[in-house]
Structure 1
């Protein structure tokens, strides 16, 4: 049975960044997934990234693979701050990064993971299982969509989460209600309105927070008082952006409080003029929802008054909530051994879970390393840190076994052995070489 030292599940910004660093560290590994899949298929064309351009890089161990380098090579105007970065440009950049540094991506899905005697067996959608000493889960937010209880169970396409959409062409001329007051809701409202949909936005809070337009040039005093971090200007933002290990050292309850109360829902400055105030209904709570005919009927309470709203579709943009149980490929024995808090995995300083050799990176690591992990910018810290740790483990394993090219597979993982045959000795593959 084919084996390798490390498997990365997911070929988005985090998975690709980690893979490029593992290659540089000489660690045999495989990366599984469709490159930039969620960005290509579950985000609407025409949207702009919320992150500044300087904070939208994938991270390689060598120079020349930043967003700025890509834009320069393709004659695209680039500004580190204040640039409206189109989704299409970011996707093309990610695929360019992958084509140069991570050519060995296998476009398969993981359908099952089991652990035995310190090794992981991964069952893949192509029917070819794989054994590894280490597994890195780098799957972003897909599968973690959060739906208000009152809307749960209502059929699609009448009610759906914002994370389920790519093209919005179907919405032209439709009557649509958006639920939420953050970037996803406001960005969708702008795009939907611009293609001819009738849009109303239900916001729980009493106001919508709009981010300030960034200053393109700042003096040294301004930069000292408010340094620019991946999460925005200011020392607090800068520290949590550049030094996620500081967040990791905080107590669990303090980390929880910061995650839940800081960097809350807001809209980018460039959306302000694209969303009409008349389309926003504040202080709103949905207390009833049902389907009648071809319409969704919402019973709402707004500013103490009850009323109802009808729409052809309701799009929920209330964010995501990490819950490792949503990864259906994880076996029950792995889930039973995994230490989680509120659905999020507890991680060591090296992104390792309570199960030796199993790592989680990206947005699912935010509970341990802070809100920067919800954004691409978090890969800047994650990729080199994880690669150093795995590289060290790989060398230690090689020295202890005096084998640098093989791993013994338990009988239970050997096809046709029935758990009683002789152990196979599959060879480590390093497909990136």
Structure 2
């Protein structure tokens, strides 16, 4: 008998008798927006609106998809000659700082030092991996052009996502998220709820000459994370620990298999209250969801950081023996590198010639439209990349196309076109979206 409601696995966060109930009641109109299917379908509506010429903001040029796909395929072959591309996830940033082009496997070193290597520790290792990656992803919004992190392991100066990743890894390894003395490798709700900006500033080497964008926003996210997980024992246990998410997901796996859409849905529902209240629908905050006139009900969800988190959970879950299926239910991530790649290749062209000269806010219709076009465009580019490489969707899901891939190609084209490899235009960041 199917243990899930009609339609397959669904996030049943109130099904263990804990007394805690989902913040999104069944049948609530917000529920339909808390899934990757809504991201893809509503972005497609916006893309059709632009393609039909109705938009006053952008024009759409699908004839450019072939050129983008060829550029991405060439980037993949340069970086992964054997085409063995890992998932696009936070774990790639933890590997930064090795000599030359080599990777530095901080995670393996950390596990070996903690005596957590080997198959007999795989479940606890998964919990520790989840403890590490959730706060690290929440800290991954754009750092700004002036911030640097001196990596103690390599003495290299790391920037942007790599610097943020290694800084958060080091903070975790020192017990920065743990409430248990003598047990540093964990992330507890109690400790996260007490996180302040000064702690992050110290850990991330922030100073007047080394400013980090959105410092207060990042600290606020971690505090809310701690409060939310303590209020969600069905998922995170008592006392609340982020790594207990593994046990929740393992319990809902069928024959060791769990759908990526279920993982995402669980995160969107369980962690939804973490995000700042922006757009709300009947009292429910929709997180990374914004208004656009072409979309049904005027709302377009993206859930960029939550999808990035879902991608980043694949490796610890698989390390523990779970098989995550349906990866292509998730969408591409509409942010600077992916969206910058498509913008630089003129897949979408702003009607305002001065668009790139100013600084924009994340809720502006022109930014919402650019992000929606990015989601649709990444699906089209992924198809072209697979054709160029001679691989199948099963062997080369979107998670590998992004890593190989569109994100790296976005950074590559930016470096070719602008000093310092800056994005093609600027968006004001509060540390909670980009």
TM-score > 0.5, shorter chain as reference: no
TM-score normalised to structure 2 length: 0.25
> Would you tell me which structure has more helix in proportion to its own residues?
2
Bigger relative contact order, structure 1 or 2 (CA pairs below 8 A, ≥6 apart) = 2
Structure in which a larger fraction of residues adopt strand:
1
Query: Whose radius of gyration is greater, 1 or 2?
Result: 1
Please give the TM-score of this superposition, normalised by the length of structure 1: 0.25
